[in-house]
Amino acid sequence: MSTGFAMPSEVVAADVAAALAEDIGSGDVTAALLADEADSAYLLCKEDAVVCGRPWFDACHRALDPDVRIDWRVEEGDRVAAGTVLATLQGRARALVSAERASLNFMQTLSATATSTAEHVAAVAGTGTRILDTRKTIPGLRQAQKYAVRVGGGCNHRMGLYDAVMLKENHVRAAGSLTAAIEAASAAHPMLPLIVEVETLEQLREALDAGCDRILVDDFDAATRREAVAVAAAHPRRVPLEVSGGVDLAGLRAIAGDGVDFISIGGLTKHIRAVDLSLKLGPPPAR
């Protein structure tokens, strides 16, 4: 099954193995009370949402019943209304109920991130500004949540501390100056993207002159942010600007309207509420 979104199968398998081991342990003592015979089930979405997490849902059920049949009625990334039956399943009753919680946990959490991301992306539509995630993810589920951000229409920031250099206040202080920190980072990691956080317009000019791949303007007020955009646009070296800190959905379009290239939002993966889903045995209700 292809979802149209890239996600390594080995990552999904590892996530699912950990989730099932955590939940089932030495065995599902309640499911053992059921007759181990064929049964059906359906996955119901109880609220408006963007669907995300199909690879994990499928892997949970197939890990316990390789012969389970899962028929999806929606695609990954579809926006659905409350009351939508997302999928039907045919398999062994014990396996269906044993996989229920882990499969729903993945779907509820990832759909929540995708739904939140889609709302933020819609708020800046037409401005050219892109929405980024951060490293503020649930431990052990970073790749899954960053996948969900992509499903929701957002873009991924660095995956971790290894795939980009990001200089912040403490790094600058330790190096002695912003320029010294940039020079040291460029020399040590010439093949990695270099992102620099600045706190003043003076630091912005210094970062532009020293050279980097992106500049993060942190907690600038609206007037200073607009001046920062003008300063960056006038500089011979075109460096994208990212805004972070103090960002909420209501003020998102105004920030994008100032002309920044990126807005990074930790809340996409941190401040989420699980989408209300349920897996019910039996056939779905008649339409």
Q: According to the model, what pLDDT value does residue 284 have? A: 94
Compute the distance between CA of residue 185 and CA of residue 198 in angstroms, rounded to an integer. 16
In the chain, list all ranges with CATH 3.90.1170.20: 9-121+272-281
pTM: 0.94
Classify each residue of 120-132 as buried b or exposed e, where b means 16 or more C-beta atoms within 10 Å of its C-beta: bbebbeebebbbb
The Cβ of residue 248 has, within 10 Å, a number of other Cβ atoms equal to 11
- Among 91, 51, 56, 84, smallest CA distance to 70 is for 91
* DSSP result, 64-118: H-TT-EEEESS-TT-EE-TTEEEEEEEEEHHHHHHHHHHHHHHHHHHHHHHHHHH
- Among 143, 174, 148, 171, smallest CA distance to 158 is for 143
Domain 126-270 belongs to what topology? TIM Barrel (3.20.20)
Would you say 240 and 261 are in contact if contact means Cβ atoms under 8 Å apart? yes
In the chain, list all ranges with CATH 3.20.20.70: 126-270
CATH number of 9-121+272-281: 3.90.1170.20
Q: According to the model, what pLDDT value does residue 1 have? A: 37
Query: What's the angle, vertex CA 152, arms to CA 146 and CA 156, rounded to 5?
Result: 35
Compute the distance between CA of residue 174 and CA of residue 134 in angstroms, rounded to an integer. 24
pLDDT tens digit sequence for 220-243: 999 999 999 999 999 999 999 999
- Among 147, 129, 124, smallest CA distance to 54 is for 147
Question: Exposed, middle or buried by CB within 10 Å (0-12, 13-18, 19+), for 35?
Answer: exposed
Residue 258: DSSP 8-state? T
Q: According to the model, what pLDDT value does residue 2 have? A: 43
Would you say 206 and 183 are in contact if contact means Cβ atoms under 8 Å apart? no
Q: Which residues in the chain land under pLDDT 70?
A: 1-4
For the annotated catalytic residues, the residue numbers are: 101, 136, 168, 197, 218
Q: According to the model, what pLDDT value does residue 3 have? A: 57
